[in-house]
Amino acid sequence: MNIKFSKMHALGNDFVITNNIQQKLILNSNIIKQLSNRHTGIGFDQLLIAEISNVANIDFNYRIFNADGTEVEQCGNGARCFALYLKKKCLTLKNNIFVKTKNRVLKIKFLDNNIICVNMGIPLFLPKDIPYITNKTQENYKIKFHNKYVYFNIVSIGNPHCVIQVPSINNYPVKLIGSFIEDHHVFPKKINVNFMEIVNNTNIKLRVYERGVGETYSCGSGACASVAVGIKKKLLSHNVQVDLMGGYVKVIWDHVTSNLFLLGTACHIYDGNINI
């Protein structure tokens, strides 16, 4: 099987994007893991696949696979790259695109200066939305780690996130605690773990340990999740710059019952094909 693809990134969060529109793909988790290997394959955090939509007013289906081969529900950085791919491959001429993930419909809009805005929908905070196994809904939760408690909040941006506020992301054991919480039994579908340092009410620093990937240079849905938690706790303003290892994005959320918006860039690296 020969696969035509584009390699793209958003702030260092890298993707292979291909489609089931101009070619016929038969992929499984083993093939995806082979492709994601940075030494023997192409290498990527996520594989994104464009498919034709049969639903009125939806332009494309947007499928997302992590590097470990699991299909997931959401990827904010990927959505921007996905839209840029559709444009570059002349699969659409629209500046406003509607795409369907496993559980949401995203509106993606092209703005000036290579900025792409993604309407990420309404953040959800109930344990059942994650899912998170607990006896009751609380403002804050905790997990015991090495005889100490790690306190966190939970939110779904279409995919599940745990947000931990830390004094400094540079001096925090992100990989150690991230891997522990990602696979914890209270998260039956695993969890993305976000480590948020609040600089001021309009700026945070963030590191993200992604479910099925590990720590990445950036995570768009993680940025959205962390800002949503900060706004809900009245620690952040409604327009926040999120500084990640690969650069920054803007997250805008006006009210707890309204849609949340992610703004940032996307970059095309190269096109290629690979035989599997």
Contact 142, 175 (CB under 8 A): no
Contact 265, 272 (CB under 8 A): no
Distance CA 235, CA 17 (A): 37
219 catalytic per annotation:
yes
List, in sequence order, every residue forming a beta bridge with 10; answer none if it has no partner: 13
224 catalytic per annotation:
no
Distance CA 77, CA 74 (A): 9
Contact 4, 18 (CB under 8 A): yes
- List the catalytic residue out of 81, 117, 162, 219: 219
What one-character-per-residue DSSP string does 88-142 give?
Answer: HTTS---SEEEEE-SS-EEEEEE-STT-EEEEEE--B-SGGGTT---SS--SSEE
Asked if the peptide bond before residue 173 counts as cis, ω within 30 degrees of 0, the response is no
- List the catalytic residue out of 75, 117, 162, 224: 75
Distance CA 265, CA 164 (A): 26
Q: How many residues does the chain have?
A: 276
Copy the structure tokens of residue 140.
């804050």
Q: What angle do CA 22, 3, 215 make, to 5 degrees?
A: 115
List, in sequence order, every residue forming a beta bridge with 78; answer none if it has no partner: none
Phi/psi region, residue 243 (left: phi>0; alpha: psi -120 to 50; beta: rest), is beta
Residue 263: what residue type? L
CA distances, 65 to each of 46, 47, 69, 75, 149 (Å)? 5, 5, 6, 10, 32
Task: Supply the residues annotated as catalytic.
Answer: 75, 219
